[in-house]
Structure 1
Amino acid sequence: MIKLFRHLKPYRWLVAAVLVFVFFQTLSELYLPTLMSDIVDTGVVKGDTPYIWRVGLFMLLVALGGMACSIAASYYSSKAASGFGMSLRAKVFGHVTNFSLEEFDKLGTASLITRTTNDITQVQQVLIMMLRMMVMAPMMCIGGIIMAVSKDAKLSLIFVVIMPVLAGAIFLIAGKGIPLFKAIQKKIDRLNLVMREALTGIRVIRSFNRIQHEEKRFEAANADLTETSIKVNKIMAFMMPVMMLVMNVSSVAIIWFGGLRIDAGHMQVGDLMAFLQYAMQIMFSLIMVSMMFVMVPRASASAVRINEVLEMAPIIKDTGVTKTPESRKGYVEFRDVTFSYPGAEEPAVQHISFSASPGEVTAIIGGTGSGKSTLISLIPRFYDVESGQVLVDGVDVREMTQADLRSKIGFVPQKAVLFSGTIRENIRYGKEDATDEEVRHAAEIAQAADFIGGMENGYDSVIAQGGTNVSGGQKQRLSIARALVRGAEIYIFDDSFSALDFKTDAKLRAALKEETRESTVIIVAQRVSTVMDADRIIVMNESRIAGIGTHRELMETCDVYREIVYSQLSEEEIA
């Protein structure tokens, strides 16, 4: 957790202010019992009423000063902790956005969400307590002991017995609770994962009538978390009764032995009252520490998980800025490329070599799992190749900054993803400064203008989270419009026409051909009708290239392509 506190640096003056206010608050609380002792021993015993009034008013001023310091310390500690939480969340989010898909696969989306929200909140709450209690408790404890010894050194020997018992109980209880707090965070991850899957896959769950199955999964994860939480709370519940028992036994012992000291003439009544209050302050400081022992273990577990994210170095890094030759804009080349997913036994693609030039349409077709989507994920550098080279404009993509590389690409993913906001904002996501005319033009090319015009608010119509209020085909067309508005050098369409009917598909490809005349177009498709007019068709089979050529050439030379064609088209269509 200490590693995370370096993010407190911008708030160091607030932290310093908290320490100063807590210091003066503690001094005021330590001074009050002495003033009360003076009132009793000097004012009450001797009947000096003016002295009682004078010291009483001074006590009131000290108490008000302590209260003001307490309020100020609470305000500044909250401000520092909230700022710390804000900057840490921004740091984690910014770091995560630099992750490659490999890091996302390793940590999991549900876990990253928990770490950015719940875990940081845990650390933030503990920081507020630490700024107040972990500073105040030692000062109160040490100051209380010094003041108690100054009142009666022999009576202070009671603390020699009390404090080890109290400290031992705290360490014993905390030692049993810490592992359980770590387990709780992992179980929150599991609960988030189950809930996220249930909510995002609700249509599938309902269509297969698996609601009860998902309820059981959620109940199991929920019960597991609840059981662990109850177990740890049972352990921590012992803390307060033990504290109170020790405090009450201590009070009885102090009054008993203090009474004997008064009888012997070694102590005054006021001193005993002050000593009792100092003893309570020492006990309360230890209770503060015990409360920290309840909170800190969970925050420590959270801090470990946050540090794990921050210390995870992205595998894909920018190695420098490379100037690309202007004469080769949009040129893509694969040179003997092999790539395996982490932990996979076999390469997802192996020994891939081909090139795609501006003004050409390169189509990739093949069976499920043949490596089509993997292949095109290597162009924007979502993953880095294991061996070989992927070149864009004649430069290895690993020698280009990711921002420069991706600014050249208009990418349409296999699963159309839309963001909450208006249609205009979703299309503009591809180019922030796109004019309304550019947005409309992109929508027309993507064959989306008709259905957008049919909506009540047109381009200002609101898209729900995940695009749930538009159809699959409409989602795909809006995703295509978002890519087209960029005016990119390279367009990649990853099975982006699958939800379109044949008529819309044909119209869209015809419009695309005109629009992308100077760009390189790479299309991944399952349908032969989508790829048969391409300038070059790459046939993938079992992670390798089975054939490259035009439709006619492949019909004569590639058995795999012929099988795909015969499985989809009739004799008349082939002819």
Structure 2
Amino acid sequence: MKPFMHYIKPLWFPAAIVSLLSLLTVAGTLYIPTLTATIINDGVLKGDLEMITSSSINMLVVALLTVLSAILGVAMSAHISASVGKVLRDDLVKALQCFSLRDFTHFGTGTILMRTSRDVEKIQSVLGEGLNMILPMPLMICVGLGLTFYKSWQLGLVILAVMACMILTIIFIESRALPIIKAIQLKLDDITDLVRDHIVGMPVIRAFNRRTYENDKEIVIFTESARLNKKLRQTFAIGLPTILILFNMSTVAILWFGGYNVSMGSLQVGDIMAVIEYANLILLSMLMAIFVIIDIPEAIVCYARIRELLEHENTDTFPEPYASSITNSMSQSTKHSTNQGSYQTSTGTGTATATATATDNTPLLEFRNVTFRYDNAESPALENISFKVYHGETLAIMGDIGSGKSTITNLIPRLFAIESGDILFKGKSIYEWNVDDLRAHIGYVPQKAYLFTGTIDMNVRYGAASGQVLSVEDVENACHLAKADEFINRLDGGYQYTVSQGGTNLSGGQRQRLAMARALVRKPDLFIFDDSFSALDGTTERAVRTALQEELQKDNRPALISVEQKVSAAKKADHILIINRGQVAGYGTHDELATTSTVYQQILASQEVTA
């Protein structure tokens, strides 16, 4: 990860313009007090009306040009900060696309949302204000002090002393504020997670009358957040009045020493007025910069949190013998070319992309002694799992809750990386495939059917593989196979009906059928259905399964892996895989398992289904 200047470097031209405009603004701002001194010394005191008039006109022109350059500078600063914010968000999106599911769980939804929204906004704000307020400050101080010392070295020392006191005050505030700001950021992450849980889980909270319990949780976390914010404001409250007092004291000191020098004849009245203006401009410039500087520690914390996401290495590991070759390849390619543990050669897909077509004697999918363990788990979720699936076959996976059925389906499209063993697809390890090419051959229906905000047509087309062009007939045929057209045609707008976020304006069965259509439209070599019939009524389920069986007999002869809960559905599969506590407890047909597998016999007994 490159430093923050990496984001500023492409904007060198507008940054150079902002610098030039700042120079013009400072020059014009400091030239006005000089004209004021000239008007007083050579015009007012000498009664030269013509000189006052001409100098006033010059002052007006300079003021207008100064205002114009300031407006342009603000506009260019806004452009720079907005551009940096856009690039930061682009990089964050690319980085998050490379995260494994483990990584999302590690960071949590709340902190990711905060880092991609509020943290980026804070950096934009500080950058824009910094260009307007901090960038002109050094020039304002140097030129202003130079002009002051030219008038009177004593008054120059007064301004320097006030500046030193202001800087010490700033250092004191920053040292106390930085740890508090870090704590506030973490607390905001917790608040985001809590509010999100309350919104998503509101039906459960109300159904179980747990509003008081949840309110108590909110009170605890909100109270702590308020305490931290109060402590931060108290820290700022100590410093800002001190700065304002120093600001006013500088004017008093200048009048004191300036009046003495006027009485001694070493200064003119106009010079004192000019020095007061110089001091006001210098200290006001510092004061405005202080308000930005106060936010810099928070912006630094925000950027550190963003860098943590951008620099985060994928936590998924790779099984031998591919670990070393994958690691070497990833170091040669860009970070964002990997996706959730994906493998690419430095030249793109390269020769490692699997293109072999399986024959009838080659399994479409094969698990070879696969072991997988979740983070911080004492025992593996899967251990030494082996099975084969051929073209045109149906494999049903059954087992108790938590036995590892869904974990198997998640490993195939490389949503997680295995600990040991190997998974072969079309005769090639899935870790030798380019991950996008691998997933293009898979139609995946997750356990929870999630739909995106948009039309039904858009949600179905979401399943299209890269480069796949879908016609209206393709979408309609997929929906017909999933028996989704039955309810789509009854909706207002049909396929253009707007689906709310998550599909909350549709029933569970409707969401499941659209998720199936999304997988079917891809026309893959392998379908993965993770308990995808649970919300369907019996009639619809039978119709969908019949349509799927017809699909499996087509020319490309796709295979189907389906996590099942009902023996009545599993017994129709070509093979049944029984998983018990992460291990294979049986593999074969319904008739074979009914006589050889104790676990399957228990499932049969529990559902009162006979062999």
TM-score interval, smaller chain: over 0.9
- Number of residue equivalences: 572
Q: Within 5 A, what are the aligned runs for 1:10-29?
A: 10-29=10-29
Q: Which moved more, 1:289-298 or 1:338-347?
A: 289-298
Aligned equivalents of 1:353, 1:323: Cα separation in 2: 21
Identical aligned residues as a percent: 38
Q: Aligned in 2, Cα 1:527/1:131: closer, same or farther, shift over 3 Å?
A: same
| Alpha-carbon shift at residue 503 of structure 1 (Å) | 2.7
Q: Does 1:454 align with 2:493?
A: no
Q: Aligned with 2:367: secondary structure?
A: strand
Give the C-alpha shift of residue 212 in structure 1: 2.6
Contact 1:318 1:402 in 2 (8 A): yes
Q: 1:59 aligns to what? A: 59
- In the TM superposition, what is the alpha-carbon distance from 1:330 to its structure 2 partner? 7.8
Aligned partners of 1:155 and 1:258 also within 8 Å: yes
Q: Measure, in 2, the Cα distance between the counterparts of 1:107 and 1:233.
A: 29
CA distance in 1, matches of 2:440, 2:273: 76
Supply the AA of the counterpart residue of 1:499: A
Match of 1:263 in 2: 263
Q: Any conservation in 1 of the 2:395–2:573 contact (CA below 8 Å)?
A: yes
- After TM superposition, the runs of 4+ consecutive aligned structure 1 residues lying more than 4 A away are none
2:576–2:587 contact (8 Å) kept in structure 1: yes
CA RMSD of aligned residues (A): 1.6
Instruction: Summarize deviations over 1:367-392 as a string: whole Å, max 9, x none.
Output: 01111111111110011111111111
Q: In 1, Cα distance between the equivalents of 2:7 and 2:358?
A: 47
- Does residue 395 in structure 1 map to residue 420 in structure 2? no
Q: How does 1:200-349 map to 2 (within 5 A)?
A: 200-315=200-315, 316-320=341-345, 321=349, 322-328=353-359, 331-349=364-382
1:148 corresponds to: 148
TM-score (norm 2): 0.91
- Local SS of the residue matching 2:45: helix
- Structure 1: how far apart are the matches of 2:192 and 2:514? 30
The residue identity in structure 1 corresponding to 2:452 is: F
- Work out the CA distance in 2 between the residues paired with 1:159 and 1:122: 32
CA contact (8 A) 1:493 1:523 kept: yes
Deviations 1:392-431 (A, max 9, x none): 1111111111111110110000011011111111111112
- Give the letter for the 2:387 counterpart: F
Q: 2:323 is matched with which residue?
A: none
- In the TM superposition, residue 59 of structure 1 has moved relative to its aligned partner by 1.1
Structure 2 gaps, min length 5: 316-340
Q: Deviations over 1:101-144 (max 9, x none)?
A: 11111111221111111110000000001111111111111221
3-state SS in 1 of match to 2:561: strand
Residue 184 of structure 1 aligns with which residue?
184
- Specify which of 444, 466, 469 is matched with residue 502 of structure 2: 466
382-391 or 323-332: bigger deviation: 323-332
Residue equivalent to 2:530: 494
Residues 327-372 of structure 1 deviation map (CA, whole Å, 9 limit, x = unaligned): 4598111111111112111111010111111100011110011111
Give, in whole Å, the separation in 2 of the partners of 1:141 and 1:516: 78
SS in 1 for 2:387: strand
Match 1:437 to one of 465, 473, 477 = 473
In the TM superposition, what is the alpha-carbon distance from 1:160 to its structure 2 partner? Answer: 4.1
Q: Which residue of 2 aligns with 1:528?
A: 567
Residue ranges of structure 1 left out of the alignment (5+ in a row): none
Give the AA of the match of 1:548.
Y
Conserved? CA contact 2:430–2:438, under 8 Å: yes
- Pairing 1:157-176 to 2, within 5 Å after superposition: 157-176=157-176
Alignment of 1:109-124 (within 5 A): 109-124=109-124
The 10-residue stretch of structure 1 (105-114 or 203-212) with the greater mean CA deviation from structure 2: 203-212
Instruction: State the SS of the aligned residue for 2:396.
Output: strand
Decide whether the 8 Å contact of 1:330 with 1:520 is kept in 2.
no
Letter matched to residue 411 of structure 2 = L
- Residue matched to 2:437: 404
Q: What amino acid sits opposite 2:493 in the alignment?
A: N
1:423 maps onto 2:456 in alignment: yes
> Which residue is 2:335 aligned to?
none
Give distance in 2, aligned partners of 1:569 and 1:448.
31
Partner in structure 2 of residue 479 of structure 1:
515
Q: Which residue pairs with 1:364 in the alignment?
A: 397
1:519 and 1:330 mapped to 2: Cα distance? 12
Amino acid at match of 1:395: K
Pick closer, same or farther for the CA change 1:330–1:291 going to 2, 3 Å: farther
Give the match's secondary structure for 2:366: strand
> Are the structure 2 counterparts of residues 520 and 382 from structure 1 closer, same or farther at C-alpha, using a change threshold of 3 Å?
same
1:540 aligns with 2:540: no
Q: Could you say if the C-alpha distance between residues 2 and 219 of structure 1 is closer, same or farther in structure 2, counting changes exceeding 3 Å?
A: farther
* Amino acid in structure 2 at the alignment position of 1:319: Q
Contact 2:358 2:364 in 1 (8 A): no
For 1:514, the equivalent position in structure 2 comes to: 550
Q: Secondary structure at the match of 2:572?
A: coil
Q: Is the 8 A contact 1:370 1:542 kept in 2?
A: yes
Rounded Cα–Cα distance in structure 1 between residues aligned with 2:29 and 2:363:
73
Q: Assess if the C-alpha contact under 8 Å between 1:333 and 1:353 holds in 2.
A: yes
Aligned to 2:42: 42
- Per the alignment, residue 539 of structure 2 pairs with 503
- Code of the aligned partner of 2:606: S
Does the Cα contact within 8 Å between 1:319 and 1:398 map onto a contact in 2?
A: no
Displacement of 1:251: 1.0
> Are the equivalent residues in 1 in contact too, given 2:18–2:76 (CA < 8 A)?
yes
8 A contact 1:372–1:540 mirrored in 2? yes
- Superposed CA deviations along residues 173-201 of structure 1, whole A, max 9, x for unmatched, are 12111111111111111111011111112
SS where residue 171 of structure 1 aligns? helix
- Residues 141-176 of structure 1: CA deviation (Å, up to 9, x unaligned): 122111110111133221343222221111111211
Q: In 2, Cα distance between the equivalents of 1:267 and 1:218?
A: 65
Measure, in 2, the Cα distance between the counterparts of 1:239 and 1:2: 34
Stretch deviating more after TM superposition (17-26 or 204-213): 204-213
- In structure 1, the residue matched to 2:327 is none
| Equivalent position to 1:384, from 417, 422, 441 | 417
Residue of structure 1 equivalent to 2:324: none
Secondary structure of the 1:113 match is helix
Distance 2:210 2:539 in 1: 36
